[in-house]
């Protein structure tokens, strides 16, 4: 349906399923371009709901809430990969929805996701599906040591366990309640990177630069983006693989593809996120088109232009741990951080700081990678973030 539509121009209302920080930043970008916005989220204090023109307070599967959102909006997107695909399919009967429910359904299931990578000719880690005791018993020693991951609802390191032996694998599967899982062979990882692509209704595709990422305890901690952060051949391979994944899904919207870089220089794809991504937040201050503006352009059928980076950038994730010192609440020294050149603070407006909860991010921009890294390390020291 959406391919036949004319572009949806500013003045229309755009909807988003999910009221978290990604929804909030989408809302800000859409409003800056002249659109009205509507958010569907059951939480009355959701960050996106608090800044949107309209807030439909209902669950993702509530027919009345979905009908209200459809009535308000000219097009709808999502900020959360675990929104039920069925809700997206329901909305798509009435208005353009991007990404499509079928694409999101694949991203929600690790087994389906890996099968898609294979179809696209994109290398991923050797793996085995474990859904029955027989499949568990059939796991070969060549897949150990490995990482056992639930096929659904796993993110930021949740739903995962490292296993070295068949006995540890069996115990981990029991501990997970014997839900459907995928076992991935542990590979000699050097670092991680990601690529964010944006694909339009007409199949046009653009991408952000390759992002080099550091994770701690399964949560993204630092992203560095500048010329040479990843060798040119690796960067070209990552972009080509990400585009292949998006085209294979007939994807419309912003898609993040995460990769492992191995010690021999090769790349394997880790997973996809059918939405803007934490590793793309630097684009708000270092690019002439951010990932959130790309999201707006994709869902409205506006032209996609290749984003250009004008500054070297570092992004520091700000977790709720920073709001505590020696177990006592505190307010981080934002004044000291913002006294540093090229710092851009983005806080999400969440009322309760909790350990490991994403509360905001700090973008650092500079003329050179060395300057950006130097300021980022100063900011990290002020805030109590471990150096990198």
Q: Which residues are annotated as a binding site?
A: 110, 149, 154-160, 184-187, 192, 215, 270-271
33 vs 289: CA distance, rounded Å? 12
Nearest to 254, CA basis, from 219, 279, 220: 279
Is residue 239 a contact partner of residue 122, using CB atoms and an 8 Å limit? no
**What gap in Å lies between CA 258 and CA 326, rounded to an integer?**
35
Annotated binding-site members for ATP: 110, 149, 154-160, 184-187, 192, 215, 270-271
Q: Does 145 sit behind a cis peptide bond, omega within 30 degrees of 0 on the bond before it?
A: yes
Strands annotated E in the chain: 13-17, 36-40, 54-56, 75-78, 127-130, 146-150, 160-163, 181-185, 189-199, 205-207, 211-216, 219-225, 253-262, 267-273, 312-319, 324-325, 328-329, 343-347, 358-366
Both structure tokens of 211: 């992002």
Query: What are the tokens at 273?
Result: 């996120």
């Amino acid at each position: 349906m959406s391919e036949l539509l004319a572009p949806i121009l500013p003045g229309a209302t755009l909807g988003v399923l999910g009221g978290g920080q990604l929804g909030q930043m989408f809302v800000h970008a859409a409003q800056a371009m002249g659109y009205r916005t509507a958010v569907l989220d059951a939480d009355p204090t959701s960050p996106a709901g608090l800044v949107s023109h309209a807030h439909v307070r209902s669950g993702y599967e509530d027919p009345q809430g979905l009908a209200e959102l459809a009535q308000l909006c000219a097009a709808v997107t999502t900020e959360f990969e675990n929104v039920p695909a069925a809700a997206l399919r329901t909305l798509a009967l009435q208005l353009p929805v991007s990404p499509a429910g079928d694409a999101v359904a694949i991203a929600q299931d690790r087994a389906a996701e890996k099968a898609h990578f294979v179809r696209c000719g994109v290398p991923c880690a050797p793996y085995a599906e474990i859904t029955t005791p027989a499949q568990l018993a059939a796991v070969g020693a060549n897949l150990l040591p490995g990482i056992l991951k639930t096929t659904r609802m796993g993110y930021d390191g949740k739903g995962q366990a490292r296993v070295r032996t068949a006995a540890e694998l069996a115990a981990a599967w029991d501990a997970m309640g014997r839900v459907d899982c995928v076992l991935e062979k542990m590979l000699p990882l050097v670092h991680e990177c990601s690529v964010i692509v944006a694909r339009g209704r007409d199949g046009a595709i653009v991408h952000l630069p390759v992002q080099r990422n550091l994770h701690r305890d399964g949560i993204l901690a630092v992203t560095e983006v500048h010329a040479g952060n990843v060798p040119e051949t690796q960067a070209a391979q990552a972009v080509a693989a990400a585009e292949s994944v998006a085209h294979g899904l007939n994807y419309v919207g912003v898609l993040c593809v995460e990769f492992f870089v191995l010690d021999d220089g090769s790349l394997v794809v880790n997973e996809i996120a059918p939405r803007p991504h934490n590793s793309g937040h630097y684009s708000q201050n270092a690019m002439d088109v951010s990932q959130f503006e790309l999201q707006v352009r994709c869902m409205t059928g506006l032209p996609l232009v290749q984003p250009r980076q004008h500054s070297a950038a570092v992004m520091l994730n700000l977790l709720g741990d920073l709001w505590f010192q020696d177990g006592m609440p505190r307010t981080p020294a934002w004044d000291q951080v913002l006294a540093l050149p090229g710092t851009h603070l983005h806080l999400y407006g969440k009322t309760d700081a909790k350990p490991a909860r994403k509360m905001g991010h700090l973008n650092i921009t500079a003329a050179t990678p060395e300057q950006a890294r130097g300021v980022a390390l100063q900011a990290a020291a002020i805030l109590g973030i471990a150096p990198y």
